[in-house]
Amino acid sequence: MEKKVILSGIQATGDLHLGHYIGVLKRFVEMQDEFDCYYMIANLHALTVRRDPKELKENVYKLLASYIAAGLDPDKSTIFLQSQVHEHAELGWVLDCYTYMGELSRMTQYKDKSAKHADNINAGLFTYPSLMAGDILLYQADLVPTGEDQKQHVELTRDLAERFNKLYGETFKIPKPFIEKVGARVMGLQDPTSKMSKSSTLPNDTILLIDTPEEIMKKVKKAVTDSDGIVKYDEENKPGISNLMEIYGIITSKTMDEIENEFEGQGYGNFKVAVADAIIKELEPFRNKYNELMANPSYLEEIYNKGAKKASEVASKTLKDVYEKIGIIR
Ligand code: AQP
């Protein structure tokens, strides 16, 4: 039986954090054996916010090193750079022409990001979901593993694929979002009502995967909780503790009930140290491997060049079919 196809990616916009690791990276690794996986380094998407060109290039290496350090195997998965497969930009443009302004203006991420970057609400920020739809549809993906915040974009992708198929006949497979119940939205440590994010301006809000053990311990100890001193899962009334419980639960494979029993009657001090220790232990091999890989850029280049070749073979077939159907001569 043919393996199902997975496509996902992360924007090349800086150091990854625990939200990326728990929300998607760990899952990417788990899926490698069972699925035909395409994991993209989304550097074209990164342009929606003004970036330093040198940093944008460096971020590609950082992200690729993070993929490999987390356990992605370039011999099992196709790991590639979005900008090296020109079909992404081309299909993105085609899909722009099949996406309605009303659909794009309903996207929560667009609303959030345009509020955050009020001085640069560019057209790319608005049409980002059409480019993302192209990323997914080029590979005829069955499943798209993402965090909760990307669900709306995958749903739009489904609508676009259905719309296109209806107009021109079967062209795209209709993908499904693949979102875990726990860990799909890791929250900030200082503001547990907002997702942990690279661009958080609150100090100690975000745990980076390359943070030292001391930094991780400090950040977790400072995490905002509440004053009732009971380790109990209650997202609505105890968002800080519930977030730490989810993080701890995913890393140690313990259920929320088990964690409640483990820390019953102990207050938050012991619990926070246990959470920090678990994160430190989980990330130690990652950090060592990451540093090793970052010292070997030519190995990383080899990986992305090989990935681009494989990705292009699939992407070019889909785009050829699309162009033929809509009457574009190449
Ligand atoms: N906090 C999170 N919890 C769970 N999943 C998360 N993801 C991101 N943050 C969390 C998931 O990671 C994938 C890649 O996301 P991206 O490339 O779109 O990065 P992002 O969401 O832009 O990351 P940030 O940190 O939120 O960046 P800024 O601050 O620049 O907006 C996606 O599947 C996402 O769901």
Which of 6, 7, 10 to mutate to test ligand 1, by most ligand atoms within 8 A of the CB atom?
A: 10
Nearest to 106 by CA among 135, 126, 86, 121: 126
Q: How far apart are the CA of 180 and the centre of ligand 1, in A?
A: 15
Reported pTM: 0.94
Which of 6, 8, 22, 24 to mutate to test ligand 1, by most ligand atoms within 8 A of the CB atom?
A: 24
- From first to last of its 330 residues, the chain has per-residue pLDDT tens of 889 999 999 999 989 999 999 999 999 999 999 999 999 999 999 999 999 999 999 999 999 999 999 999 999 999 999 999 999 999 999 999 999 999 999 999 999 999 988 999 999 999 999 999 999 999 999 999 998 999 999 999 999 999 999 999 999 999 999 998 878 899 999 999 999 998 888 999 999 999 999 999 999 999 999 999 999 999 999 999 999 999 999 999 999 999 999 999 998 999 999 999 999 999 999 999 999 999 999 999 999 999 999 999 999 999 999 999 999 999
* Helix, strand, coil content of the chain in percent (nearest 5): 55, 10, 35
- pLDDT of 198 reads 85
DSSP 3-state assignment of 41?
A: strand
Q: Which residue is closest in CA terms to ligand 1's atom 35?
A: 147
Domains in the chain, please, with CATH? 5-183+297-326 (3.40.50.620)
Q: Which amino acid is at 188?
A: G
Instruction: Output DSSP code: residue 2.
Output: P
Cα–Cα distances (Å) from 124 to 39, 110, 146, 199, in that order, read 22, 10, 21, 18
Report the catalytic residues: 113, 195, 198
Which residue ranges have their beta carbon within 6 Å of ligand 1? 10-11, 13, 19-20, 23-24, 42, 146-147, 149-150, 184-186, 195-199
DSSP 3-state assignment of 276?
A: helix
Q: Which residue is closest in CA terms to ligand 1's atom 21?
A: 197
